Amino acid sequence: MSILDAIQTGLSELLSHKLRSALTMLGVIFGVAAVIAMVSIGEGAKQEALDQIRLMGIDVVHVKRAVIVGELLEKAQERSPYGLKLSDADSIEQVCGYARRVVPLRQVFADVEVQGKPVPVKVVGTTPAYAGVARATLERGRFLRDEDVRERYPICVLGAAAKRELFGFEDPIGRSVKVGSRLFRVVGLMEPKEVGSAKAFAALRDLNSDLYIPITLSISDFQIYSQQAVPANAVTLREMVRKMRERPALGNSPITEVIVQVENDDATVPTASLVRSVLNRQHRGIRDYEIVIPAELLRQSQQTQRIFNIVMAAIAGISLLVGGIGIMNIMLATVTQRTREIGTRRCVGATRWDIIRQFMLEALVITCLGGLIGIALGVGGAKAISVYAGWRTLVSVQAIVISFGVSAMVGIIFGLYPAVRAAMVDPIEALRYS
C-alpha cells in the first residue's frame, strides 16, 4: 500500500466515525489554537511596548517631577522647596559627560482659547533642543529658536492634535492663540506622532496635544502644572495665593521634567546614576523626582514577555498532552476493532512495517487535520480579540509553524505504541477474532 493509499484509508476511517474523530481532535485543536492566540496577544503587546519605547527613545533618560505627600513633603519644603528646578538641568548638563542634549520641560496651568472657545490643550514650555530629543518633525513653519527663549517672544508651535482642536482644517501659521491672558502667534506645526491606544508606560505623553512656548515665558507668565499635595495645616489659603504669586529666581523656577539624551543606549544607566548623584546633592537627599530609563523598561518588557511565553507554552503543552492521550486511546480501540482486517492484510503479504506505517499515518492525519483546524481557530480568535477587546494582536508565522509541527509530533509519539501493537498481532489469531 502506498503512502497516498494509506492517507486515503485514514481519511475514510475518520469519516466513518465522524463524532469519535472530532472528539479525538479536540485536544489538538484547542492546544494549537491556544498557542497561536496567546502568542499573537503576547507579540502584539510586545510590539506595542517596543513602539512606545521607540517613541520615548532608548538613548534618553527622563527625570520627572515626583508627587510627594505626608512627612516627606514637610521635609521637602525645608530642604528642597522648589522640587525639580531649572538649575538642576544646568547642573546635569555641566556634570554629565555622556549627555548630547539636556532639555527642560515645564507644563503650565493655562486656558487655551481661539475666538473665545476653550480647547483642551497642554501648554509646555521648552527649548529649541526639544525637537531633536523628541524626534519630532515639523510639517510647516519652524520650531522654537534661541532668541525666542532669550527674548521671551510670545510665539508657539502646535502639535497635530492641538492644531486640529484649535483650527480644524485651517492653516494655523500666523494665526493667534490666547494662552491665559496673552496672545501667542503660531509659527510652526508638528507632524503627527503615532501613539498606542493603551499606553504601556506612564512616562510616555501624547505629544500631538502639546502647545510649545519658550520656557522662559512659561516661567515668567504662568504657574507650573503640578499634582503636588499640600499638608492641611501647612499654610492658609491667603498664604497659598501669596506663594503662588511669588517669582523665584530663574534657576529656582520649578519645572516638570528634564530629558537627557546620551550618545548611545549603553550610556543610559551610568548617566542615570550620575544624574541621581547630582540631584541628591542639589536636593539635600529629598527624592522629589523620579528617573525613567526607556532602555531599562525595554529589558523589563522583554523579560516579562519571556515569562508570559513560558506560561502560555506550558498551558498549550498540557492541552496537547491531553489530546495526545486521547489519540492513543482511540487508536488502541481502533486496533482492537480492526484486528480481523490486520490479520487479513498480513496473510495477503503485508509486512509489520506496512501495518505500523498504516496506523502511524492515520494518527498523523488526525493530528494534522486537528492542527489545521486549530490554526484557523487561533488566527480567527486573535482577530476577534483585536476587534472586540481592542487589544493589539500580531499573528506570528513562527508560532503557526511550531504549533503545527508540535501537533504532528503528537501524532507520531502517541500513535507509535498503537501502531507497534497492531503490527505485533499474530495473523492466525487475528483471523479467528470476532
- Same domain as 40, residue 84: no
Q: In this structure, are 27 and 78 located in the same domain?
A: no
Cβ partners under 8 Å of residue 125, min gap 6: 105, 106, 107, 108, 212, 213, 214, 215, 216, 217, 218, 219, 222
pLDDT of residue 81: 72
Choosing from 235, 269, 293, the residue where a domain stops is: 293
How many CB atoms neighbour CB 167 within 10 A? Answer: 18
Average pLDDT over residues 327-356: 80
- Helix (H/G/I), strand (E/B), else coil: 234: coil
Same domain, 127 and 12: no
Which candidate, 296, 330, 312, 339, places its Cα nearest to that of 426? 339
What was the pLDDT predicted at 205?
A: 67
The domain boundary residue, chosen from 233, 260, 293: 293
State how far the Cα of 319 lies from the Cα of 312, in Å rounded to an integer.
11
Cβ-Cβ contacts under 8 Å for 78 (sequence gap 6 or more): none
Q: Is the pLDDT of residue 242 over 60?
A: no
Residues 339 and 289 in one domain: no
For cell 525639580, what's the residue? 84
pLDDT at 98 > cutoff 90: no
Task: Kindly state whether residues 97 and 184 are assigned to the same domain.
Answer: yes
pTM over 0.85: no
- Angle formed at CA 410 by CA 358 and CA 28, multiple of 5 degrees: 110
Contact 57, 130 (CB under 8 A): no
Percent of the chain exceeding pLDDT 90 equals: 19
Average pLDDT, rounded, for the chain: 81
Q: Domain span at residue 323?
A: 3-52+300-432
Q: Judge if 176 and 315 occupy the same domain.
A: no
Give the DSSP per-residue string, 16-70.
HTHHHHHHHHHHHHHHHHHHHHHHHHHHHHHHHHHHHHHHH-TTEEEEEEPP--H
pLDDT digits (tens, 9 = 90+) for 247-298: 556 767 889 999 999 887 788 888 888 999 988 888 887 888 899 888 777 7
Task: Flag whether pLDDT at 213 surpasses 90.
Answer: yes
With cut-offs at 50, 70 and 90, classify the pLDDT of residue 432. Answer: low
Residues 278 and 412 in one domain: no
Q: What is the DSSP letter of 225?
A: P
Query: Which is more confidently placed, 299 or 231?
Result: 299
**Interval 144-168: pLDDT, tens:** 999 999 999 999 999 999 999 898 8
The more confidently predicted of residues 127 and 204 is: 127
The answer on 244 and 116 residing in a single domain is yes
Residues 95 and 237 in one domain: yes
Phi, then psi, of 172 in degrees rounded to 5? -85, -15
Residues 42 and 63 in one domain: no
Question: How many separate domains does the chain show?
Answer: 2
For residue 236, the model assigns a pLDDT of: 45
Residues 286 and 334 in one domain: no
Q: Write down which residue in 272, 293, 314 finishes a domain.
A: 293
Q: Is the same domain home to 131 and 149?
A: yes
